[in-house]
Amino acid sequence: MEPEDVVRNAKRHKLDIISITDHDTIRGYQRAREKARELGIELIPGVEITSDFNGRECHLLAYCFDPDHAAIKKLVARHYHSRLERGKWIINELSKEGILIDINEVKAEANGGNIGRPHIAAVLIDKGYVASFKEAFIRYLSDESLGTIKNDYYTHHEVIDTVKEAGGAVIVAHPGNLYNKDDLTELVEAGVDGIEFIHPSHNYKTQKWVEAFANEHKLLKTGGSDFHGGDKEYQKFFGVVTINAKYVHRLQRMTKQRKKISV
């Protein structure tokens, strides 16, 4: 879905404040700003950053940073290149199994955006190697299928430092099914500011333990629909899986103070 259409959708659902947190890019935020102002939607700068956490991928949400800060621009440029190189590596691994696709086909599927495994999956479907995204990931694109995926992302420490330098807040994304309490404690000790406790993948029990962990460590709490586009699977969460504005205001107050200190 185009960023401007995301904002229109937010207006239809009567949302007051949103953030577009695309993976490793702020282009969606930049494109949606004007439409958000026009429709009276408060659009918070956001991005979901892929980091290297002790050799595994860790997604860290960044909010309320200065989108024009040099450190943020450097990070997203580096990660664009990292995603491109990772895509080439995955394509090479697939070629060993007789699957022939080209990086330019994947770039076309990404339509100028950052390359991800879903774009490779789409090409696999188009070329008849698989019948669905689910089959593409199960047979070829899961972590289990690919093994250790080559990447050149910032470490979680580097991401945290970069976002804070730009006056933003760092939040652990959708932690419920990915990390245990020891992992989360390590991320807290590394300097994250908060944790996403409301998420479509979190059932009531998961939500409560994540919220309790956040309270214990005095962390900011965020949430969202993890909306990925027009697919029906994601549509049902848009405007439904939300948080109260009080959580957003706490985040904004903290980052406003951070920017004052860093000046």
Q: Do 159 and 223 sit in the same domain of this protein?
A: yes
CATH number at residue 182: 3.20.20.140
CATH number at residue 96: 1.10.150
Domain total for the chain?
2
Q: Which residue pairs, CB below 8 angstroms and at least 24 apart, start in 161-165?
A: 161/191, 162/71, 162/72, 162/74, 162/75, 163/49, 163/60, 163/62, 163/65, 163/72, 164/191, 164/258, 164/262, 165/69, 165/71, 165/262
Q: Do 115 and 209 sit in the same domain of this protein?
A: no
Q: Do 186 and 117 sit in the same domain of this protein?
A: no
Q: Do 97 and 209 sit in the same domain of this protein?
A: no
Q: Do 99 and 46 sit in the same domain of this protein?
A: no
Other CB atoms within a 10 A radius of the CB of residue 217 amount to 15
Q: Do 196 and 125 sit in the same domain of this protein?
A: no
The domain of 219 spans: 3-77+154-262
Among residues 90, 123, 146, the one where a domain terminates is: 146
Q: Do 40 and 164 sit in the same domain of this protein?
A: yes
Q: Do 17 and 122 sit in the same domain of this protein?
A: no
Among residues 146, 165, 186, the one where a domain terminates is: 146
Give the pLDDT confidence of 61-118 residue by residue, as tens digits: 999 999 999 999 999 999 999 889 999 999 999 999 999 999 999 999 988 788 889 9
pTM of the model: 0.89
Does position 185 have pLDDT exceeding 90, yes or no?
A: yes
Does position 231 have pLDDT exceeding 90, yes or no?
A: no
